[in-house]
Structure 1
Amino acid sequence: MSLIIFYDLIRPQRRKNMSKMYYAEMPDAAHDIHDLKVALLGQGFHFYTDAGVFSKKKVDYGSQVLLNALDLERGKNLLDVGCGYGPLGISLAKVQGVQSTMIDINSRAIDLAKKNAERNGVVAHIFQSNIYENVSEKFDYIISNPPIRAGKKVVHEIIEGAFDHLNQGGSLTIVIQKKQGAPSAKVKMENVFGNAEIIRKDKGYYILRSEKL
């Protein structure tokens, strides 16, 4: 077997493994630090990113659509599930004045998020947690750009667990592409919360919201 043919055979599995790398407790990818300068919610932010975290070279479009769909009440508390290096929770704390708690399974992402919060003048509670495993309190808002490539089971666990971690009247808001399961996620949210709505669509991205009534 030639080297080229062998590489073609292993390449799909390699891509699959790399796509899931950011959903790991201890990524083993070689460090590749980037310094992002980006405008979010009308303000400038600086973020350190690295290999082994989601969307290291830019704040992904789905996160930006989610941010622009949110209008949160100042002083309320928010949980950012799967925070990555922190663009959602940090920008919402700084611009909309919420009290951000940020969690991720990825230890490298958590280290970056802590540095990025300090770098952008934001006080936030940031810690490692596999979904809600280490979360004990309840929140007014839960948001997530869920790790789609980690599988449907993980996305549904984020939706299911949100109900018990929301205050009465609180809401879960997530972003998912239509082609990556937004319709089924909406059905799941309806089953868990008794309600779900599409509050925004943008280039195939759906922003879905459910309230704990």
Structure 2
Amino acid sequence: MPHYFTNDAHEHEYQTITYDMNNQSYMFTTDAGVFSRSGVDFGTNLLIETILGEQPVAENFIDMGSGYGVISIVLADQLKIRGTAVDVNINALELTNKNDKNNSITTMVRDDFNASKITTDLYVTNPPFRAGKPVVLEIIEDGFNRLNENGLFYMVVQKKQGMPSYKKAIDAKFGNVSVLAKSKGYYILSAKK
């Protein structure tokens, strides 16, 4: 699964998918080597639906592990706030830029995130679990460090991917954790800084 670890060169296999949320249709170009290229996965959809249902008060958000930009673009549009899409996969970031334009949305796209000092009101992630637990724990730590006071952390995780241990890790870092939604083995975890 090269999209979790490297920026390996590959033959492009572009395709266009659509995603509907709250009577709004979005078009996304995807490619080989990016997560969930044939359609928006169940966990991402549940995460978006849950956050939109919460209607958090915020000026900005970070989408960590943004892939081709579904979460970034939909939240920026539906919540009317600034988003920053972050991914280590250069192809994914190029697709996010393209998808921003296709959907007339503007998000900041970053690959040099560790060097930046960006802080945020919301930190959203569908993390790369296959990259290993240390990577996911680092994302939880990064979320805590980048959130403004009273900022909100949101993460989707499947029970089989270790939800109980990640829930414990979030609680240990933030001092609180909630299960906002669960469906088909997927959980939306949230914490407030």
- Of 22, 32, 49, the residue aligned with 2:13 is 32
Structure with larger Rg? 1
Structure 2 letter corresponding to 1:115: K
Write out per-residue CA displacement over residues 155-187 of structure 1, whole angstroms, 9 at most, x where no aligned residue. Answer: 100001111100000011000000111111000
How many angstroms apart in 2 are the aligned matches of 1:185 and 1:75? 25
How many angstroms apart in 2 are the aligned matches of 1:54 and 1:41? 23
Alignment RMSD:
1.3
* TM-score, L = length of structure 1: 0.86
Call closer, same or farther: CA 1:211–1:55 in 2, change over 3 Å: same
Unaligned ranges ≥5, structure 1: 1-19
Write out per-residue CA displacement over residues 89-123 of structure 1, whole angstroms, 9 at most, x where no aligned residue. Answer: 10011111121011000000000000101110101
1:195 aligns with 2:176: yes
Aligned length: 191
SS at match of 1:48: strand
Question: How far is 1:73 from its partner?
Answer: 4.2
- Of 110, 117, 125, the residue aligned with 2:93 is 110
Match for residue 51 of structure 1?
32
The answer (yes or no) to whether the contact 1:175–1:208 under 8 Å persists in 2 is yes
How many angstroms apart in 1 are the aligned matches of 2:22 and 2:137? 28
Unaligned ranges ≥5, structure 2: none
Match for residue 145 of structure 1?
126
Structure 2 letter corresponding to 1:63: T
Match for residue 68 of structure 1?
49
Runs of 4+ aligned structure 1 residues displaced above 6 Å come to none
Question: How far is 1:60 from its partner?
Answer: 0.6
Match for residue 101 of structure 1?
84
Call closer, same or farther: CA 1:181–1:135 in 2, change over 3 Å: farther
